[in-house]
A and B are shown apart, each in its own frame.
Chain A
Amino acid sequence: MTEYRTHMKIIGDILSTTRDELQDEDGATVTYLIRKANVSHSRISRILRTLVSQGLLEKDDSQGSNKYKISQTGREFLQAYHTFSGFAINFGLTI
């Protein structure tokens, strides 16, 4: 059975990928994130725009291709996400 992922869980997966599974030090490409986070191109584009505007991701387009890296705020958000995800699981819920 396919696991249903909430919007928050998808954001958590994207941020985790940009923190833990980078291809190189410049960041992850959109294609790489689509494959790792398992999200469609149109959806991930919207999410990435939001995450960059919120300061959770840093966008680097210096070499012609857009690459994304997690920011310090993103790391703090991810830490809070994991903490409160565990808290919600205690109540049988997902955030």
Chain B
Amino acid sequence: MEFLLENILNLVGFLVGLGIGIVSFIGFRNTGSPTLFRLALAFFSISIGFFVIWVGYMVEDFVIKSGNLERWVQTLGIAIQTIGYFFIAFSHSIKSLFPKSRYFKSVGIFPLFLVSSVQIEHIFRSVSFILLAYGAIETILSYFENRNKGAISVAIGLSLLALGEFLGWYSFVFPESILYFISMIIKISGLIALFIPVSRVPLTKIKFDESFD
């Protein structure tokens, strides 16, 4: 059951990320907006991250058949997703929160070489949680300015993904509990909530002009 849910989650994540990424990229091509370019990068990264884990599960299930997904595949997929979440948060001007000194930057990266891949996965999950929570808060604040209902759906989607990441991380503490199962259900719901406003973008009305970049 967990294996099936994991496959559904990663496939939904791949498709939703790809869909939103393509819409963002079309928007970037038609308007030249850097915001849409960052959104395209974010969602393509999220899509690739889910795809890597999904392929890992498929290879494990049909080729290797060891019963367990290679830890590094899971870590790689989550790391790529974290890059995507970073770009969402970055679009909300998170840049100013990062330390500017080279010393601080090196201190921030150095501990990664001292920990195992399991611990790296924990770090990525917790970073993802923070970035997603930040994105959700900024999105809901923008709702109070614009009263755009789509922002509620995106904020709920990001919040559910954040909660899913948190429970996924917490399930390491209680490995045999139902927490991981719940976290996957929550993340699937979050991805669907993210896609609802995007599905209403009237792309068919736009006449694409190849000569305009």
Contact = CB atoms under 8 A, between A and B. Distances in A.
Do A and B pair up? The answer is yes
Interface of A: 8, 54-55, 73, 76-77, 79-81, 83-84, 86-95
Contacts of A76: 206-207, 209, 212
Secondary structure of the A side of the interface?
A: helix
Interface of B: 23-24, 27, 30-33, 35-36, 39, 88, 91-92, 135, 138-143, 146, 148, 150-151, 153-155, 197-198, 201-203, 205-207, 209, 212
Contacts of A86: 148, 150, 201
Contact of B36 (A54, A79, A84): A84
Contacts of B148: 86, 89-90
A91 B152 CA distance: 9
A91 B207 contact: no
B33 A84 contact: yes
A77 B213 CA distance: 11
B43 to A, nearest CB: 10
A83 B151 contact: no
Nearest to B153: A90
Secondary structure of the B side of the interface?
A: helix
A90 B197 contact: yes
Max chain B CB contacts within 10 Å: which of A8, A76, A79, A88?
A88
Nearest to B142: A92
B151 A89 contact: yes
B205 A90 contact: no
Given A88-B39, A90-B153, 4 more contacts: A79-B206, A83-B206, A91-B154, A92-B151
The list of the 3 closest CB pairs from A to B, nearest first, reads A92-B142, A90-B150, A84-B27
B90 to A, nearest CB: 11
Contacts of A79: 205-207
A93 B42 CA distance: 14
